Chain A
Amino acid sequence: MIYNPNWFGNLLRQQSLSFLGAFLFLVIISRLFYLQVIKSDSLLVESHKNAIRDIPIIPIRGNMFDRNGILVVDSYPYYSLTVTPKDYKHDADELVSNLLNIDTLILRKKISDARRYSPFVPSVIYRDIAFSQMVSLEEYGFKLSGINYRIETKRNYPAQMHGTHIFGYLSEVNQKMIEKQPDIYNLGDITGGSGLEKFYENTLRGIKGHEFWLVNATGQLIGSWEKEEKNIPAINGDDLYLTVDDGLQGYTEKLMAGKTGGAVAIDPRNGEILALVSKPDFDLNALSGVKSSSIWRDLVNDQTKPLFNRATLTRYPPGSTFKPFVAAVALQEGVITEDSKLVCNGIFYFGNRGFKCHGGRHGAIDVRTAIQKSCNSFFYQLMTKINLDKLHNYGMEFGMGQTTGIDIFEQRNGLIPSTEYYDRVYGKRGWTKGFLISLGIGQGEVGVSPIQSAAYASVIANGGVFHQPHFVRRIFHKQTGTFEDMPISSKPVSVSAKNMAIVREGMRRVVQAGTAVSAALPDVEVSGKTGTAQNPHGKDHAWFICFAPYDNPEIAISVMVENAGFGAVAALPVARQMLKYHFYGRNFILDEEMKMGVMVLSETGDVIMSREDSLRVAD
C-alpha cells in the first residue's frame, strides 16, 4: 500500500521531517561558519578591493642644483587622466577620445593595457591635459565612471644650461620594470630614461604615498576611508648637488651650437665635471611629461642623431693630443730620457714604408720640443721602441682604454690596443710592428671619447692622478635633512712626477710657441695640445685638450668637433672661450661680445654666433 491516511502525521513522519530539517540547518550553518569565520579574512580583503581604491600619491621628483647652488632641474605639477578599468564603461570611449582629441583605438588599447595591469588600480592614460579639456571632462563627469585625475609633475629646467645629455629624459616605465619591481612601479609611472635621471633614479624618485578612498559600485569616489588615518604620505625624491657649473655649461652649449661633437671640462683636482656638452642635442622639455610618440620617433630618426651622446659614446682617434701620453710612457719606460734627442728628417721610414712628418724637418729634438712642434717622426720612433702592452696598460690608467666610470649610463670603452687586440683582429701572425707606428701620433686603431680625453688631460694636469669623473657632489636626503657626500675614486698612474712634469712642460710650450698659441690667455698660463683625427669617411675630426693654470690647474678641457679639420682651428677656440669664462667670468665674456658686436671665435673668421645669439647669451 503506497498511501494510508492513518499514517497521517505519525511519529515516523515527524521524526523524518525533523531530521531532514536539522540536516539542512546544519548545512546552512556550516556554510555560514565557513564564509564568516574561516574565509572571513580573505573575503574582507575582497570587499576592501571592491570598495576601497588605493590612489597612489606620486612623490615630487628630486631637484638638481649646480655646483654654486643654482637650481637647474625642478618639477612643476600637471594633471593626468587615470582610468580604473573595473569601473570604466566602454560606452564612454567615444566621448573620452573626442575630449582628449586622441584616436578611439589608442584609447581602447591604453585601457586594455591598464586592465591587464590591474582592474582595480587607477592607471594613467593621458598626461598633462589642458585646463579646457579638464573642464569639459568635469562637465561630463557623471557619465565617466572610473575616470579620475592625478596630479603629476613635469620636469622644468629653469637655469641657463640645457644639460640634455647630463640630465637625460624621463619616460614611462616599461612592462619589464613593472614586473621586476612591482612594489615601486605602476603602469604609466615616470622613470629616468637616460643621463642622471636614469642613473640616480632610485635617489630622485622618492617613495609613493597612498590615499584610500571609498568608491561605490559605479566607481565614484564617495569619500575618504577610515578618516584618512590609513593614508600614507608620499616622500619626495632626494636632491642632487652637481659638480656642473651652470654658467660654463650653458655657455659651452652655445659655443658648440651648430657644431657636431663634444666638449668636456673637468676639475683635475677631484674629477668633478664642470661642463659636458654633446651636440646636436634636443630640448628636454619635449620629453619631460607626455612623451609624444611622434616627437620620440622624430628624434630617433633624426640623421644628426641628437639622442647620441657624442661626449661619452664616440670613439675617434685622438690624433696629436695622444702625443703627450706616448711621451709620458716612453719616459717612464726608459725608451728616452728628458735629454734624448731624436732626428726628424721630415719623413720616417719603417721598412720600406715612409711616414711623413708635417711642417718640414724638425732636426734633432728632445721630447719637450717634439710635443711643442707636434713632430710626428719623433713619436713614430718612440712607437717602434715602446712595448704595445705597456702602452695599453698605461692607457687604461689614464682613463682612455676603458669607461671612465662617470655617473651616467651612456659611455663606451675607449680603444688603446694591445697584442691581444691585434691577435684577435688580424690573427696571431697577421700583423707586424708597422701596424703600430701610427699609434704614436694617435691615429689608426686607437680611439677615445671627449670624456676620456678630458680625463686624460686631467691626469696630465694634476701630475699623475686619475680621478674618476663624476657629476654628483652630494645628495640631499629629504627624510633626514642631511647631505651625503659622494665618494671620489682616485688612483695614481704609474708615471713618475718628474716625467709628468716633462710632458706638462712640453704642453706649456705648445701654447707659448707651438701649434696652439691662440689658446694663450693673459694672466692665466694655459697648456694644451691640438689634434686632428684622420677620418677615412670624410673631413677630419678636430681635437683640442688643455688645462690651466699651469702651476696649479683647476680646469682641464677636451673639445672634439666632428668633420671640422684642424684642432687648432675648430676645437681650440671653443676651449679658449670656456677658459675665459672660467677664469674671467661671465661679465668679461659679455663685455667682449659687446665690443665685437658679433662673437668671433676663431682666427679664420668663423662666425659661430649671430648677433641675436650673442644677445641671448647676454640675457
Chain B
Amino acid sequence: MGLTKRFPIDWVIVVPVLILISFGTLAIYTSTINSDVSENFYRQVMWVVISIALAISLFFINLKTFQILAILLYGVSIVLLIAVLVVGKEVYGSKSWLFIGPIGIQPSELTKYTAILMVASYLSIQKSGRSAMIQLIIAMAFLLFPVGLILLQPDTGTALVFIGMSVPLLFWLGLDDLFTFMLVSPVLSAVFAFFNFYLFIGFVILGIFFIFYRKSLLLQAFYYITTNIAAGFGTVFFIQQVLLPHQRKRLEILMDPFIDPKGAGYNVIQSEVAIGSGGLFGKGFMHGTQTQLGFLPKQWTDFIFCVISEEYGFVGSMILILTFGVLMWRLLNLASRIKQRFASIFLMGMLLVISIHLFINLGMTMGLLPIIGIPLPFVSYGGSSMLTFMAFTGTALAIYAQRKEENL
C-alpha cells in the first residue's frame, strides 16, 4: 500500500489507454490473422508488452531526472534521425526505418516524445539574462529542428504533426491569441479555398468579426484581410492557372476519390465503404467483409479505424472515439491544473500529439482529408508508434504521481 501512496496511479489515463490498446490488438488480430502477415499480430503483442514495460519504468522516474534525461534522449533522437538518412531503409518511398537485426524502428516517431520532453524541460528551467521571447524561440527551434530532418526522409505526415502541434503549443505557452490567429488564418484560408471557395469566404468574414471584437489596431485588421485574401485567391489562382491539367487532376482526386476509383481514390473509397457498411452495430468480430477479404491494403496500420468501424459499427466506433475523448479531456484537465511548468507543457504537448494524430487519421479514413499516412495512437500496428505513445503515457503517469496542485 505504501507504493501506491508514494506513486498514485491516474486511472483516468490508464483505463482509456488500455481500452485503446485492446481495440487495436483485436483489430490487428482480425485483419491479419487470416492473411499472409499473421505474424503481425504476435509482433504487435510483443511491442505492447515492451511498451507497457517501458511505461512502467518511466513511471518510477523522478521528474527532475526527466528534465536531465530530456537532453540525452533528444540528442540521441537527433543522431538517429541523421543516421536514418545515411543507413536507413527505404519503405514506401521514404527513408524512415532503422533496422537493428530483425527489429525496425522509426526515429521520427520516437522524436515526437523526445522533442516535447526537451521543450518542456528547457522552458521549465529558470534562466536569467535571456528574455522570455528568446527562450520561446529557442524552445520552438528544439521542436522544429527535427522537422527539417524528417522532411529529408521524406515523411510529410510526421512533419505535419510537428508543425501542426507547434502553433497551439505556442498559444498555450502564452502567445497572444490575436497574434496566433493572424499567424494561422492565412494557412487556414488557403486550405479552405482549396476545398471550397465559400468556406474560405465564410472563414474570412468570421475572422473579421473576431478581429474587431478583439479591438485590434487598424494595421492589424489590414494585415489580416490582405494576407487571408491573398492566401485564398492565391491558392485558387495557383490551382486554376499555374498547375498543369494532370497535376490539377491529382488534387481533384483528393476532393473526389470517385474520379479515380481504381487508383488514387481506391483507399478512400474502400475505407468509406468499410466504415459505412458497418452500420449501427457492425458486422461482428471477424465478419467484416472489407477487412476479411482484404479490400483495404495495409488496413492494420493507418486504416485500422475502418476495421473497427466495419466490425463493431457506429456503437463500437463511438466507444473508441469517446475513449480518446476521455483521455484527451483528462490530459487538458491535468495540464490546466498542475502548476509545474514542465508537467503542464509536457502534458499539453502529449495532448496535442494525440489530438493531431486522431483528427488527421480519422479525417483521412472517413474521406474528410487527403490521405496522410499517420497512425492512430495506441491502436495502429507499429512498434515505434506504440513505444512512443506508451513513453508519453508512462511520463504522464509519473507526472501525475509527483504533481503539485493547488486544489487537488
Contacts and interface: CB of A to CB of B under 8 A. Distances in A.
Instruction: Answer yes or no: are A and B bound together in one complex.
Output: yes
Interface residues of B, number: 49
Nearest to B282: A36
Contact of B290 (A7, A8, A21, A51): A51
B290 A5 contact: no
Contact of B174 (A4, A42, A217): A4
A14 B332 contact: yes
A8 B120 CA distance: 13
Contacts of A175: none
B173 A36 contact: no
A3 B132 contact: yes
Contacts of B318: 29, 32
B66 to A, nearest CB: 19
A41 to B, nearest CB: 8
Given A9-B335, A21-B355, A36-B317, A50 B289 contact: yes
A318 to B, nearest CB: 66
A1 B132 contact: no
A44 B363 CA distance: 20
B280 A36 contact: yes
Given A8-B173, A13-B171, A37 B289 contact: no
A482 interface: no
B289 A12 contact: no
Most chain-B Cβ atoms within 10 A of its Cβ — which of A12, A20, A21? Answer: A21
A8 B359 contact: no
Contacts of B344: 8-9
Nearest to B347: A9
A468 to B, nearest CB: 56
A1 B273 CA distance: 50
Contact of A3 (B136, B274, B280, B341): B136
B279 A2 contact: no
Interface stretch (B148-156, B175-183, B237-245): B175-183
B280 A32 contact: no
A513 interface: no
Interface residues of A, number: 45
Contacts, number: 141
A31 B294 contact: no
A25 to B, nearest CB: 6
A21 B332 contact: yes
Contact of A40 (B277, B289, B328, B366): B277
A9 B336 CA distance: 6
A12 B175 CA distance: 12
Contacts of B293: 50-51, 214-217, 222
A50 to B, nearest CB: 5
A3 B133 contact: yes
B348 interface: yes
B261 to A, nearest CB: 10
Contacts of A7: 174-176
B25 interface: no
A32 B309 contact: yes
Interface string B309-344: 110011001100100010010001001100001001
Interface string A12-37: 11101110110011011101110111
Given A9-B344, A43-B272, A217-B293, A16 B171 contact: yes
B368 interface: yes
Given A21-B355, A47-B274, A28 B363 contact: yes
A90 B294 CA distance: 21
Contact of A17 (B168, B173, B368): B168
Contact of B176 (A1, A32, A46, A216): A1
B168 A35 contact: no
A39 interface: yes
Interface of chain B, main secondary structure: helix
A21 B366 contact: no
Nearest to B269: A46
Contacts of B176: 1-4, 7
A23 B388 CA distance: 27
Nearest to A46: B273
A480 interface: no
A32 B328 contact: no
B345 to A, nearest CB: 8
A6 interface: yes
B172 A13 contact: yes
Interface string B278-298: 111000000001100111000
Given A8-B341, A216-B294, A35 B366 contact: yes
A36 B292 CA distance: 19
B279 A21 contact: no
B368 A31 contact: yes
Contacts of A42: 276
Interface in B121-176: 132-133, 136, 168, 171-176
Contact of B368 (A4, A27, A222): A27
Interface string B345-372: 0001000000100010011001110000
B275 interface: yes
B279 A37 contact: yes
A28 B320 CA distance: 12
A2 B270 CA distance: 46
A37 B348 contact: no
Nearest to A119: B262
Given A9-B348, A35-B276, A47 B294 contact: no
A8 B174 contact: yes
B267 to A, nearest CB: 12
Contact of B273 (A2, A43, A214): A43
A599 B368 CA distance: 87
A29 B309 CA distance: 12
Contact of A35 (B275, B290, B336): B275
Nearest to B317: A32
Contacts of B348: 9
Contact of B309 (A13, A36, A215, A217): A36
Contacts of B314: 32-33, 36-37
A18 to B, nearest CB: 6
B49 to A, nearest CB: 31
A217 B366 CA distance: 20
B313 A2 contact: no
B174 A47 contact: no
Interface string A589-600: 000000000000
Contact of A2 (B179, B295, B368): B179
A36 B275 contact: yes
A92 B223 CA distance: 61
Given A9-B344, A217-B293, A35 B272 contact: yes
A181 B289 CA distance: 32
Contacts of A46: 273, 276-277
B178 to A, nearest CB: 8
Contacts of A44: 276-277, 279
Given A2-B175, A5-B173, A36 B362 contact: no
B366 A32 contact: yes
A52 B293 CA distance: 10
B168 to A, nearest CB: 6
Given A9-B348, A24-B359, A32-B309, A50 B295 contact: yes
Contacts of B290: 47, 50-51
B273 A50 contact: yes
Contacts of A1: 176
Contacts of A21: 328, 332, 355
20 contacts: A1-B176, A8-B173, A8-B174, A9-B335, A17-B168, A28-B363, A28-B368, A31-B363, A32-B314, A36-B276, A36-B279, A36-B317, A37-B314, A47-B274, A47-B277, A50-B289, A50-B293, A214-B293, A216-B294, A217-B293
Interface of A: 1-9, 12-14, 16-18, 20-21, 24-25, 27-29, 31-33, 35-37, 39-40, 42-44, 46-48, 50-52, 214-218, 222
Given A3-B175, A3-B176, A9-B348, 4 more contacts: A3-B179, A36-B278, A47-B289, A51-B290
Which are the 9 A-B pairs with shortest beta-carbon distances?
A: A43-B276, A47-B277, A51-B289, A7-B174, A36-B314, A216-B293, A217-B294, A35-B276, A40-B279
